[in-house]
């Protein structure tokens, strides 16, 4: 009887050893300021501006038993993701999310250029340059990103997220001079990045899931409801300037997070 009990205990111990890892889930967040949480104004890591209000951390809160790695960093480009952030990926990673590409295309400097009066800047020239990069160079850079993720975490499901349209056709912020036509072109640039990222995710294979955040942000752009209103999910010109034109806490909670959570559960 004693030997039988020992045998049962051995079997149970073996189940714990060999079954438990199958239940473990690891989630790694990669990307730039839109994934780190720039714009939420509260950071636990000031260097990369990582925030507990960013959409990856909200997913972590929803699944506290998961292993969570926040590797996204403000200012990151595709090269930073590949060389600095990708080492966080391991063969047992189950979920990955990222936003990337906006900094490669120089979108921050484009916004800065277009914020000046037309007589003091060449907004259309800056947009043309960014759009040319998005069309001609960004697809290859995204393929490198996706191939790096696949090589390190071949079984992971990867959620590729884009960027919202920032503008609604009006400029209510003192200190900026965006014209309606410039806002339209800047929104079209976000649409171009969406198309390129969606195509790259399709090329990467079935484990790569592109999800579009543009629809939930419609009606919640800069100046929707007036500057600083609860309707506005994206910061306009801010102090400090680095917070400008990034999602607020509400943008992460109501824009990005529901899109992510709909996939991961």
Report helix angle 123-136 to 138-152, nearest 10: 50
261 is annotated as an active-site residue: no
Nearest-10 Cα torsion for 139, 141, 147, 148: -160
Tell me which DSSP letter residue 17 carries: H
33 is annotated as an active-site residue: yes
Of the candidates 258, 178, 264, 262, which has an alpha carbon nearest to the alpha carbon of residue 221? 178
Catalytic residue among 33, 97, 108, 153: 33
What pLDDT, on the 0 to 100 scale, is given for residue 80? Answer: 98
Catalytic residue among 97, 108, 153, 246: 246
**Is-contact 142 197, C-beta < 8 A?**
yes
240: preceding bond cis by omega (within 30 degrees): yes
pLDDT tens per residue across all 265 residues of the chain: 445 544 444 444 444 444 444 468 999 999 999 999 999 999 999 999 999 999 999 999 999 999 999 999 999 999 999 999 999 999 999 999 999 999 999 999 999 999 999 999 999 999 999 999 999 999 999 999 999 999 999 999 999 999 999 999 999 999 999 999 999 999 999 999 999 999 999 999 999 999 999 999 999 999 999 888 899 999 999 999 999 999 999 999 999 999 999 999 8
How far is it, in rounded angstroms, from Cα 231 to Cα 46? Answer: 27
User: Residues near 178 by Cβ (< 8 Å), separated by ≥ 6?
Assistant: 114, 115, 167, 171, 186
Question: CA separation (Å) from 193 to 21, 161, 200, 207, 235?
Answer: 37, 10, 10, 20, 20
Place of tokens 């045998």: 7
């Amino acid at each position: 009887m004693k030997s039988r009990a020992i045998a049962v205990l051995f079997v149970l111990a073996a189940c714990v050893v060999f079954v438990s890892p199958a239940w473990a889930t690891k989630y790694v967040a990669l990307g730039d300021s839109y994934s780190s949480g720039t714009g939420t104004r509260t950071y636990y890591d000031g260097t990369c501006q990582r925030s507990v209000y960013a959409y990856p951390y909200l997913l972590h809160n929803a699944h506290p038993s998961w292993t969570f790695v926040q590797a996204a960093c403000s200012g990151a480009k595709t090269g930073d993701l590949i060389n600095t952030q990708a080492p966080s990926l391991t063969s047992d990673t189950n979920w990955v999310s990222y936003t990337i590409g906006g900094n490669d295309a120089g979108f921050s400097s484009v916004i800065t250029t277009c914020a000046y009066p037309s007589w003091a800047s060449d907004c259309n020239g800056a947009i043309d340059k960014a759009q040319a990069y998005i069309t001609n160079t960004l697809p290859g850079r995204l393929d490198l990103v996706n191939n790096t993720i696949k090589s390190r975490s071949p079984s992971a499901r990867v959620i590729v997220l884009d960027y919202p349209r920032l503008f609604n056709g009006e400029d209510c912020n003192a200190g900026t001079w965006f014209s309606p036509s410039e806002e339209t072109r800047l929104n079209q640039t976000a649409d171009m990045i969406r198309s390129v990222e969606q195509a790259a995710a399709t090329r990467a294979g079935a484990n790569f899931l592109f999800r579009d955040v543009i629809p939930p942000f419609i009606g919640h752009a800069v100046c929707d409801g007036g500057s600083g209103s609860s309707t506005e999910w994206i910061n306009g010109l801010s102090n400090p300037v680095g917070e400008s034109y990034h999602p607020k806490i509400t943008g992460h909670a109501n824009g990005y997070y529901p899109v992510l959570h709909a996939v991961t559960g």
